[in-house]
Amino acid sequence: MQRFIAALLAVASCASIAHAQSSEPASTSPPLTLERALTLAGAAAPTLEAATAGVRAAEAGRTVAGYRPNPSIVAETENVAGSGQYRGVRSAETTAGLAFPIELGGKRSARIAVADAIGNRARIGSALAEADLRLAVTQLYIEATAAERRLVTAREQAGIAREALRAAGVRVQAGRASPLEQQRADVLRINAETAVERAQRLADVARDNLARRIGQPVTDALDMAWYDRVEGYGPAQPIAPAGTLALAAARADATTAEAQVRLARSQRIPDVTLSASARRLEATNDVAAVFGVSIPIPLFNNGRASVAQARAQSDQAQALRRAAELDTAQDIARAQVEVANAATSARNASGPALASATEAARIARIGYREGKFGQLDLLDAERTLSETRTAAIDALATYHDAKARLERLVAAAPSLEENDR
């Protein structure tokens, strides 16, 4: 009789586990892949809109920088509203003409160089925004898939806890165990069902966060095959920071600062304003030409302070560029090690360790039903299995996160074309 009950419990346990594993409703639609999520996020990201607007602003600034100074209309009337022969407008002299500012010292080309540098920096900023968005969406996708996997695991553990409670009840009724075992099993069942509720809430929040980022509800299944996949990762090869987005931004800042130095130097040279006018003498009704030239005197502001300021800012940008080279190289090397270690941990945790813990828990369940193992042995095996499953999920999440951060670090800078206008 006892063997029959044990066999019946074993069959019920297998059915319960199978039900827990398939508790998620099957979906006929394809899963929401990471690449699909990235595409949707790119179409709804305000950060990309801001970066694109920045590029447009820089292009407009490049056009403005190429304009030459506008001419001015000069008009004046002399010898009016005075006394004697200058009473009224009888002796008025009216002059009308144009004044043409002439830029000297290469100011226009210096402005264009600054505008070009700012435009290149804006395009790099747009690429940085895309890379940051890709990392953010990838991390949200990792969080959502890990939460889904934790929910499935929690449901499986809850199903196992319910079966353990039934087995304990049968043992108590048969007089083979004390009522304490049944009470202990009931506590474990309650804790397991509570864990399911917590995992469900976390999974819902993770899906909602991903939905906010991609701009639409996440109702389809997620790509669990991608989450479980650990790519082979051999010895890390050194990756030079040259050509990466992080270093390209620092170099663009240094280029902009150097262009500002050239602009400050060009502004030390005074501009010349030429004017050509026609003067009409009211008394004789004659007309005469008037030519003029205007040159400012750099008496109080000779531009040296502006050049010194621009040079100091350029030195600062160059120092930051060198610091960025060091930091980027260190960050890449550290990220490579993290990816390699995470890949090893994920393969071990989701492979041999998980298989051994699963087999040990299966043997403990059968032995407990047949009276060969005590309840403490069963609980220890189940706890080990639960911890191993959690470790495997965490290891996979750590691996994907480390890989995403490495890809962000080594993202290639866009090719920038110089403007020749």
- Residues 217, 211 contacting (CB under 8 angstroms): yes
Same domain, residue pair 210 and 337: yes
75 and 55 within one domain:
no
414 within a domain of the structure (yes/no): no
**Burial (0-12, 13-18, 19+ Cβ within 10 Å), 37:** buried
Tokens of 349: 């945790």
Output the pLDDT for position 3. 40
Residue 397 pLDDT = 94
Q: Hey, what amino acid is at 167?
A: A
Whether 203 maps to a domain, the answer reads: yes
Cα(252)–Cα(242) distance, integer angstroms: 13
* pLDDT for position 68: 93
Cα distance between residue 421 and residue 418, in whole Å: 9
Contact 78, 124 (CB under 8 A): no
Element (H, E) at 164: helix 107-173
Same domain for 49 and 64? yes
Distance CA 154, CA 20 (A): 9
Q: Is residue 418 part of a domain?
A: no
Question: Are the C-beta atoms of residues 226 and 105 closer than 8 Å to each other?
Answer: no
Q: Please give the pLDDT value at position 91.
A: 78
Could you give phi then psi for residue 93, rounded to 5 degrees? -125, 115
Classify residue 358: in a domain, yes or no.
Answer: yes
Strand order in 272-281's β-sheet?
A: 72-78, 93-102, 272-281, 286-294
pLDDT for residue 375 = 66
CATH number of the domain enclosing 63: 1.20.1600.10
Residue 286 φ/ψ, nearest 5 degrees: -95, 160
Q: Are 283 and 367 contained in the same domain?
A: no
Question: Is residue 208 in some structural domain?
Answer: yes
CATH number of the CATH domain containing 284: 3.30.1300
- Is 282 contained in some domain? yes
The pLDDT of residue 22 is 39
Q: Going by DSSP bridges, is the β-strand pair 272-281/72-78 parallel, antiparallel, or unpaired?
A: unpaired
Does the residue 191 lie in any domain?
A: yes
In a shared domain, residues 230 and 318: yes
Per-residue pLDDT in tens (0 to 9) along the chain, 421 residues: 334 333 333 333 433 333 433 344 445 678 999 999 999 998 888 999 999 999 999 999 999 999 999 999 999 988 887 777 777 777 788 899 999 999 999 999 999 999 999 999 999 999 999 999 999 999 999 999 999 999 998 998 888 888 878 877 877 787 776 788 788 778 888 988 999 999 999 999 999 999 999 999 999 899 999 998 988 765 566 777 888 988 999 999 999 999 999 999 999 999 999 999 998 887 788 888 989 999 999 888 899 999 999 999 999 999 999 999 999 999 999 999 999 999 988 888 877 777 888 788 788 777 766 767 766 676 777 777 777 888 889 999 999 999 999 999 999 888 875 444 3
Same domain, 292 and 387: no
Domain count along the chain? 2
In angstroms, how far is CA 70 from the centroid of its own chain? 43
Query: Do 317 and 198 share a structural domain?
Result: yes
The candidate with the shortest Cα–Cα distance to 183, out of 173, 170, 169, is: 169
Do 212 and 156 share a domain, yes or no?
yes
Residue written as token pair 């270690």: 341
Instruction: Give the domain-ending residue among 248, 279, 302.
Output: 302
For residue 187, CA distances in Å to 48, 174, 219, 385 come to 51, 21, 34, 18
Q: Are residues 368 and 281 in the same domain?
A: no
Rounded to whole angstroms, how far apart are CA atoms 93 and 112? 43
Q: Rounded to whole angstroms, how far apart are CA atoms 27 and 7?
A: 34
- pLDDT given for residue 102 in this prediction: 93
Q: What's the pLDDT score for residue 417?
A: 58
Pairing of strands 286-294, 93-102: unpaired
Model pLDDT, residue 235: 58
Query: What secondary structure letter does DSSP report for 77?
Result: E
What's the chain's Rg over C-alpha atoms? 38
Same domain, residue pair 329 and 201:
yes
Query: HSE on the CB side for 166, CA within 13 Å?
Result: 15
DSSP bridge pairs for 293: 274
User: Do 259 and 125 sit in the same domain of this protein?
Assistant: yes
Residue (of 16, 22, 13, 11) closest to 378 by Cα position: 13
CB 294 within 8 A of CB 273: yes
Domain span including residue 297: 69-102+269-302
Same domain flag for 291 and 248? no
